[in-house]
Amino acid sequence: MDYWSMKAALTWQLDMGADEAIADTPVDRFAASRKETEKLTPEAAPASAPPALDPVAVAAESAKGAADLEALKSAMEAYDLCELKRGAKQLVFSDGLPAARVMIVGEAPGRDEDLEGRPFVGRAGQFLDLMFSHVGLARTAPDAEKALYITNILPWRPPQNRDPRPEEIAMMKPFLARHIELANPDVLISMGNHACDALLGRKGITRLRGTWTAAMGIPVLPMFHPAYLLRNPAAKREAWADLLSLKAQLAEAGCAG
Mark out the alpha helices in the chain (DSSP H runs).
3-15, 29-39, 55-64, 69-78, 84-87, 111-116, 123-133, 166-183, 193-200, 205-208, 226-231, 236-256
Q: pLDDT at residue 77 above 60? A: yes
Residue 146 lies in a domain: yes
Q: What is the pLDDT of residue 221?
A: 98
Residue 70 lies in a domain: yes
Residue 6 lies in a domain: no
Residue 93 lies in a domain: yes
Q: What does the pLDDT look like over 146-159, one tens digit per residue? A: 999 999 999 999 99
* Residue 248, domain CATH: 3.40.470.10
DSSP string, 114-141: HHHTSSS-SHHHHHHHHHHHTTT-BTT-
Return phi, psi of residue 211, to 5°.
-105, 120
Region of 189 (left: φ > 0; alpha: ψ -120 to 50; beta: rest) is: beta
Other C-beta atoms within 10 Å of 75: how many? 19
Give the C-alpha separation, 18 to 14, whole Å. 5
Name, in order, each residue with C-beta under 8 angstroms of 128's C-beta and a sequence gap of 6 or more.
Answer: 104, 120, 191, 226
Answer with the residue of higher pLDDT: 29 or 216.
216
Q: What is the pLDDT of residue 33?
A: 59
Give the C-alpha separation, 238 to 67, whole Å. 38
Residue 227 lies in a domain: yes
Q: What percent of the chain has pLDDT over 90?
A: 77
CB-based contact 104:78 (threshold 8 Å): no
Residue 204, CB-side half-sphere exposure with 13 Å CA sphere: 5
CB-based contact 226:131 (threshold 8 Å): yes
Residue 14 lies in a domain: no
Other C-beta atoms within 10 Å of 112: how many? 16
Report the chain's C-alpha Rg in angstroms.
21
Mean pLDDT (whole number) for 109-129: 97
Number of domains composing the chain: 1
Measure CA 68 to chain center. 19
Domain that holds residue 142: 56-256
CB-based contact 100:185 (threshold 8 Å): yes
Answer with the residue of higher pLDDT: 257 or 195.
195
Name, in order, each residue with C-beta under 8 angstroms of 209's C-beta and a sequence gap of 6 or more.
Answer: 222, 223, 224, 238, 242
Task: Give the chain's mean pLDDT.
Answer: 90
Q: What is the pLDDT of residue 50?
A: 67
Q: pLDDT at residue 44 above 80? A: no
Residue 4 lies in a domain: no
Residue 47 lies in a domain: no
Q: What does the pLDDT look like over 12-39, one tens digit per residue? A: 777 776 766 665 566 665 665 566 556 5
Give the C-alpha separation, 106 to 9, whole Å. 29
